[in-house]
């Protein structure tokens, strides 16, 4: 594979310090229904669902809300744990758009292609209904690239 097989953005990941305030700001400005704010829990210890960040398993707890913005979802994420890509971004850059997300098939081939292009995977989440991955693209693209695959895994 020479390139990513899908160029349609499905989600923007926006890292925030206070999700309640940001949800209120987005819903008031756009006159949209308030989305549910979800607090994630660590993956079950069975090993099937997991989150890896820079080679180590983490709990990856966040508060998140998916704000529908036409064909794209704005995923607001407030990190709870200190060891996560979202907390790392918040410490280094402050609040902002952290990642753009594309849905792909043939996940492993895409991960390999990104590595071959000098943009290796540094974060992987496996959660049964799919998986997602962040790549070292910030220096090259100015934003983190996320690929997700929505095939049921277990």
SS3 for 122-146, per residue? EEEEECCCCEEEEECCHHHHCCEEE
If pLDDT is split at 50, 70 and 90, which confidence band does 129 have? confident
Residue 67 has pLDDT above 90, yes or no: yes
Place of tokens 């926006």: 14
Question: Distance (Å, rounded) from C-alpha 144 to C-alpha 127?
Answer: 20
Nearest CA among 86, 87, 95 for reference residue 134? 86
- What are the extents of the domains in the chain? 11-149
Answer yes or no: are the C-beta atoms of 12 and 97 closer than 8 Å: yes
Out of 25-29, 45-49, 67-71, 104-108, least confident range? 45-49
Question: Distance (Å, rounded) from C-alpha 21 to C-alpha 87?
Answer: 18
Two structure tokens written together for 55: 């080679």
- What pLDDT is attached to residue 128? 83
Answer yes or no: are the C-beta atoms of 98 and 88 closer than 8 Å: no
Q: How many CB atoms lie within 10 A of CB 18?
A: 13
Answer yes or no: are the C-beta atoms of 100 and 145 closer than 8 Å: yes
pLDDT digits (tens, 9 = 90+) for 24-50: 999 999 999 999 999 998 887 777 899
Q: What is the mean pLDDT of residues 134-152?
A: 95
User: What's the pTM?
Assistant: 0.94
User: CATH class for domain 11-149?
Assistant: alpha beta
């Amino acid at each position: 594979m020479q390139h990513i097989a899908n160029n349609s953005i499905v989600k923007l990941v926006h890292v925030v310090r206070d999700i309640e305030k940001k949800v209120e700001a987005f819903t008031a400005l756009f006159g949209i229904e308030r989305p549910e704010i979800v607090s994630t829990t660590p993956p079950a210890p069975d090993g099937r669902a997991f989150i890896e960040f820079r080679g180590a398993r983490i709990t990856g707890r966040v508060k998140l809300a998916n704000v529908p913005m036409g064909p794209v979802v704005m995923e607001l994420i407030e990190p709870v744990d200190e060891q996560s890509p979202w907390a790392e971004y918040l410490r280094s850059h402050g609040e902002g758009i952290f990642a753009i997300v594309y849905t792909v098939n043939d996940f492993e081939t895409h991960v390999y292609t990104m590595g071959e292009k000098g943009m290796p995977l540094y974060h992987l989440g496996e959660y049964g209904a799919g998986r997602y991955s962040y790549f070292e693209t910030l220096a090259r693209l100015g934003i983190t690239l996320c690929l997700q695959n929505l095939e049921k895994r277990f």
